[in-house]
Amino acid sequence: MSVPPRRGSRPRWRGFGRGDQRNTARAYGTALRALVAEVGAATSVAVLDEESTVERIGLWFVGRWGACAAATVNARLDALRSAADWWRAQGWLVGDPRSVGGRAARAAPER
């Protein structure tokens, strides 16, 4: 959340400025920039309501971060879930976007 600047001063930021918050901002930025690179910057968020897009994002997610440490996978999932929840609150998504992250987290077991 930004605070309006005082005259002659630079803006001060509250929130993503210290310690874990900076790491959260970095993790969220990484996941969201990667998602935009995958679906395209001109693509509407509403495509996440389409089953085919959800499947595509799930496969992309596993391919992109499936081999990473659990903490990394969870950080990326949290970022995508949080963004999808916000998009839904704005009315840009109709369905429950949690399936975007839920499907991505489950890779088929190797046999």
Answer for the pair 60, 103: CB distance below 8 angstroms, yes or no. Answer: no
What pLDDT sits at residue 84? 87
What residue ranges do the domains of the chain occupy? Answer: 15-104
pTM: 0.67
Answer for the pair 33, 82: CB distance below 8 angstroms, yes or no. Answer: no
Instruction: Say which DSSP state 5 is in.
Output: P
pLDDT digits (tens, 9 = 90+) for 49-76: 888 888 888 899 999 999 999 999 998 9
CA gap 37, 6 in Å, rounded: 36
What pLDDT sits at residue 50? 86
Distances (CA, A) of 35 to 3, 4, 31, 57, 82: 29, 31, 6, 8, 13
pLDDT digits (tens, 9 = 90+) for 72-106: 999 899 898 888 888 888 888 887 656 544 443 44
Q: What is the signed CA dihedral for 88, 1, 30, 46, rounded to 10 degrees?
A: 20
Q: Residue 35's pLDDT band (boundaries 50, 70, 90)?
A: very high
